[in-house]
Amino acid sequence: MRFLHTMVRVKDLHASLHFYCDLLRLKEVKRYESEQGKFSLIYLAAPDDAEQSKATESPLLELTYNWDTEDYDDGRNFGHLAYEVTNIYDTCTFLQDNGITINRPPRDGHMAFIRSPDGISIELLQKGDALAPRSPWQEMENTGTW
């Protein structure tokens, strides 16, 4: 398993980039914008991690800017921790066998979400290419929130 990123939602992208990049001196290493989803993802790295982060996409801080006007309360501005796993199906099977609810099953062979005992959302991402979809995962519905 390898740590990938921590995601936080931001209300004011300009103010957040000023804080993280201009004041904390983090470096933007990747950006993704979705017109359809109406959001922007900006990935930042600490200066000493910037070159590694460009190559390995970790360790990163992901700023998620939703273009709507949602107010983030109850800690919703903190999004999730993300880890890369060698085999998403084996990892989810092990977790499920040990009493962990798979909130967002890896139907696509690429991504799953679980929650910690304290309710922290954790994203699990398949290392490399997505695995071929397979049962029982591809038939499973989401459970709760993630």
pTM: 0.74
State whether 90 and 135 are in the same domain: yes
Structural domain tally of the chain? 2
Do 7 and 57 share a domain, yes or no?
yes
Q: Are 14 and 61 members of one domain?
A: yes
Query: What values do phi and psi take at 6, rounded to 5?
Result: -115, 135
Structural domain containing residue 104: 86-139
Cβ 78 vs Cβ 22: under 8 Å: no
pLDDT of residue 74: 62
Q: Name the residues annotated as catalytic.
A: 123
12 within some domain: yes
The pLDDT assigned to 94 comes to 94
Tell me if the bond preceding 136 is cis, omega within 30° of 0: yes
Residues in the chain with pLDDT < 50? none
Q: Among 89, 70, 91, 90, which residue's Cα sits nearest to residue 79?
A: 70
